[in-house]
Amino acid sequence: MIELTEGQELTLTGVDGTPLTRVRMALGWDHNPTAGFIASGAPPIDLDASAVQFAGGQFFDLAFFNHLATRDGSVVHLGDNITGKGEGDDEVITVDLSRVYAKVETILFLVSSYQGHSLEYIHNAYCRLVDDDDTELARVTITLGVRETGLVMAKLSRDGSGWKLGAIGTGIALKTPTDSLEALLPFV
């Protein structure tokens, strides 16, 4: 496993050097029990994982809690966790890289707070990429101090006949990926 920091990239290949064809982006987080309130028992924070596809530098398709799969079926959101409770991954998006429409060159992975909470109120948050054998290929950790309601975690980019993962880790003001698709363009 490689812990990626902003700007780092990783070519998505198996141990034998062949390009990977299927990956999963998993999001996990724990709710900070004070979540900005003086007393404990604050309501859970609902984070959402999203994957947004771009072709020719323009929005193409997306998968998130309200639209679970892209039209070509290559990107599928496996369900919404509204609390972050429990161990392990809280939301998962699968990507069948071999089925991604040929014109799509970038897939952005986002994390956003549906209720508009600042990401300052979460902890132990991460985004990780795993292969079909459940081998963790890379992890991006969300550090405390992200004041925005969203975060562009990472992107998948076509790299010849394969794909590469690039860490971004930049805060962005949105609650759902459809709030401002234009705001995502600088990351493509």
Mean pLDDT of 41-47: 66
Distances in Å between the Cα of 29 and the Cα atoms of 6, 81, 132, 155 are 19, 10, 22, 20
pLDDT score, position 14: 80
Please name the CATH architecture into which domain 2-172 falls. Answer: Sandwich (2.60)
Read off the pLDDT of residues 5-26 as tens digits, 9 standing for 90 and up: 778 888 888 878 889 999 999 8
Q: How far apart are CA 5 and CA 2, in angstroms?
A: 10
Q: How far apart are CA 59 and CA 71, in angstroms?
A: 13
Helices (DSSP H) in 12-110: which residue ranges? Answer: none
180 has a pLDDT exceeding 90: no
pLDDT score, position 107: 97
Both tokens of 64, joined, read 């998130």
Is pTM beyond 0.75? Reply is yes
Residue 29 vs residue 1, higher pLDDT: 29
The domain locations on the chain are 2-172
- Cβ density class 7-24: b for 16+ within 10 Å, e for less: ebebebbeeeeebbbebb
∠ CA 66-68-69, rounded to 5°: 135
Share of the chain above pLDDT 70, in %: 82
Read off the pLDDT of residues 119-158 as tens digits, 9 standing for 90 and up: 776 777 787 888 888 888 888 776 656 778 788 888 999 9
Read off the pLDDT of residues 66-90 as tens digits, 9 standing for 90 and up: 889 999 999 999 876 655 556 667 7
CB atoms closer than 10 angstroms to residue 154 = 28
Both tokens of 28, joined, read 């996990």
Contact between 127 and 27 (Cβ < 8 Å): yes
Residue 141 vs residue 56, higher pLDDT: 56
Contact between 177 and 50 (Cβ < 8 Å): yes
**Count of residues making up the chain:** 188
pLDDT score, position 38: 46
pLDDT score, position 176: 84
Contact between 123 and 34 (Cβ < 8 Å): no
Mean pLDDT of 85-99: 83
